[in-house]
């Protein structure tokens, strides 16, 4: 079963759509909760996946959140009855992650470069350690795990 990641994205794409990057506005937690609750996956396969995850693992919502890295880059938000997790994937710090990561139990955020290399991180569309920690603080994440998976290693 093929599922396009964008089928699970509750927002219109902000980055790389028609060659323009758009700003994402800060959204209140109540409004995000309403968007999540009313979200309908865009394809039958995505709907089937969510039904399967709910029945087998108790996952209420699985959303792809657009990241600012390269075309078709997404993080993921997983929400169960008891817990919520946001995994950023590779990205610059972006408001979409802050919006959907409000009060998550666990933030897993890429932290590719040390703070002294912030300009290099910006050019490569990655996050520094300090930026990732700040994202977690702004989200009010209960715990933040810093990581980076690279095909180079």
Which of these CATH numbers, 3.30.1540.10, 3.40.190.10, 3.60.15.10, 3.40.50.970, describes 5-147?
3.60.15.10
Pairing relationship of beta strands 84-87 and 74-80 according to DSSP bridges: antiparallel
The structure tokens listed for 148 are 């980076």
* Look-up of token digits 């990241």: 67
Q: What is the DSSP letter of 127?
A: -
Strands (E), 5-139: 59-66, 74-80, 84-87, 106-110
User: Can you tell me the distance from the alpha carbon of 107 to that of 97, in angstroms, rounded to the nearest whole number?
Assistant: 10
| pLDDT at site 84 | 96
Tens of each residue's pLDDT in the chain, 153 residues: 788 888 898 887 776 655 566 678 899 999 999 999 899 898 999 999 999 999 999 999 999 998 988 888 899 999 998 999 999 989 999 899 999 999 999 999 999 888 999 999 999 999 999 999 999 999 999 999 999 866 654
| pLDDT at site 107 | 97
What is the residue extent of each domain of the chain? 5-147
């Amino acid at each position: 079963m093929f599922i396009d990641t964008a089928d699970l994205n509750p927002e219109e794409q902000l980055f790389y759509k028609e060659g323009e990057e758009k700003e994402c506005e800060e959204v209140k937690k109540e409004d995000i909760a309403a968007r999540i609750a009313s979200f309908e996956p865009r394809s039958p396969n995505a709907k089937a996946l969510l039904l399967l995850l709910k029945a087998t693992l108790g996952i209420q919502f699985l959303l792809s959140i657009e990241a600012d890295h390269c075309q078709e880059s997404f993080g993921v938000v997983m929400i169960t009855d008891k817990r919520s997790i946001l995994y950023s994937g590779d990205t610059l710090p972006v408001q979409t992650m802050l919006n959907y990561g409000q009060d998550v139990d666990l933030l897993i955020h890429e932290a590719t470069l040390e703070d002294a290399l912030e300009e290099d991180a910006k050019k490569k569309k990655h996050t520094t350690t300090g930026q990732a920690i700040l994202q977690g603080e702004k989200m009010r994440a209960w715990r933040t795990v810093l990581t980076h998976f690279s095909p180079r290693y």
